[in-house]
Amino acid sequence: MDAFVITGGKKLKGDISLGGAKNVAIKICLASLLTDDELILHNVPRISDVTIMLELLKHLGVSVLWQEDILRIQNGNVKKFHVPLEVGARLRTSSMVLGPLLARYGQAIIPNPGGCRIGARPIDRHIEGLRQMGATINYNSSDGYFYAKTDGLSGITYTFPKNTHTGTETLILASVLAKGRTILKNAAEEVEVDDLIACLSQMGANIKRSNPREITIDGVSILGGTEYSIMPDRNEEVTFAIASAITNGHVTVYKSQRNVLGVFLDTFRKAGGVVDAVDDHTTIYARSGQLHATDIVTASYPGFMTDWQAPWAVLMTQAVGVSTIHETVFESRFSYVQEIKKMGAEIEYFDPNIPEPENFYNFNWKDRIQGYHQGIRIKGPTKLHNAILEMDDLRAGATLVLAALAAPGESYIHGIEQIDRGYEKIEQRLQKLGADITRIHT
Active site members: 116
- Tell me the pairing of strands 157-159 and 295-297: unpaired
Q: How far apart are CA 308 and CA 280, in angstroms?
A: 22
- Return the residue of 163, 252, 256, 335 that touches ligand EPU, per CB under 6 A: 163
Nearest to 246 by CA among 408, 394, 388, 375: 408
Distances (CA, A) of 230 to 27, 148, 428: 11, 30, 22
Among 112, 164, 257, 317, binds ligand EPU (CB under 6 A): 164
Q: Is 395 in the site for ligand EPU (CB under 6 A)?
A: yes
* Dihedral, CA of residue 307, residue 309, residue 313 and residue 318, to nearest 10: 90
Q: Which residues of 251-271 are buried (b: 16+ CB within 10 A; e: fewer)?
A: bbbebbbbebbeebbebbeeb
Residue of 104, 165, 258, 326 interacting with ligand EPU (CB under 6 A) = 165
Task: Please tell me the number of Cα atoms within 13 Å of 56 on its side-chain side.
Answer: 34
Interface residues for ligand EPU in 78-97 (CB under 6 A)? Answer: 93
Residues 328-357 that bind ligand EPU (CB under 6 A): 329-330
Question: Does 362 engage in binding with ligand EPU (CB under 6 A)?
Answer: yes
Interface with ligand EPU, residue 255, by CB under 6 A: no
Window of 212-220, 362-370, 410-418, 429-437 that interacts with ligand EPU by CB under 6 A: 362-370
Figure out which of the listed residues 10, 90, 104, 121 binds ligand EPU, where binding follows CB under 6 A. 121
Q: Does 23 bind ligand EPU (CB under 6 A)?
A: yes
Question: Is the CB of 166 or the CB of 252 nearer to ligand EPU?
Answer: 166
Q: Any contact of residue 126 with ligand EPU (CB under 6 A)? A: yes
CB closer to ligand EPU out of 238 and 413? 238
In 3D space, the residue among 54, 107, 53, 104 whose CA is nearest the CA of residue 80 turns out to be 107
Q: Of the candidates 167, 232, 311, 397, which one interacts with ligand EPU according to CB under 6 A?
A: 167
**125 in contact with ligand EPU (CB under 6 A):** yes
Among 351, 267, 248, 249, smallest CA distance to 313 is for 267
154 binds ligand EPU (CB under 6 A): no
Per CB under 6 A, does 25 bind ligand EPU? no
Based on the shown chain and the rule CB under 6 A, indicate whether residue 132 belongs to the binding site for ligand EPU. Answer: no
If the CB atoms of residues 95 and 386 are measured against ligand EPU, the closer one turns out to be 95
Least separation, in Å, of the C-beta of 120 and ligand EPU?
A: 6
By CB under 6 A, which span of 38-46, 310-318, 360-368, 396-404 interacts with ligand EPU? 360-368
Q: Looking at this protein, which amino acid is placed at residue 285?
A: Y
What is d(CA 89, CA 402) in angstroms, rounded to the nearest whole number? 27
Q: Which of 166, 216, 309, 335 touches ligand EPU by CB under 6 A?
A: 166
Residue 434 found at the interface with ligand EPU (CB under 6 A): no
Task: Please report whether residue 233 would count as binding ligand EPU according to CB under 6 A.
Answer: no
Q: How many residues bind ligand EPU (CB under 6 A)?
A: 28
Indicate the SS3 state at residue 378: strand
Pick one of 307, 327, 390, 424: the residue that binds ligand EPU (CB under 6 A): 307
Taking alpha carbons only, the member of 104, 86, 90 closest to residue 36 is 104
In DSSP notation, 394-415 reads: HHHHHHHHHHHHHSBEEEEEE-
- CA 439/CA 434 separation, integer angstroms: 15
Distance set, CA 258 to CA 18, 103, 226, 231 (Å): 12, 35, 27, 12
Question: Which residues would be at the binding site for ligand EPU (CB under 6 A)?
Answer: 22-23, 93, 119-126, 163-167, 190, 305-307, 329-330, 362-364, 394-395, 422
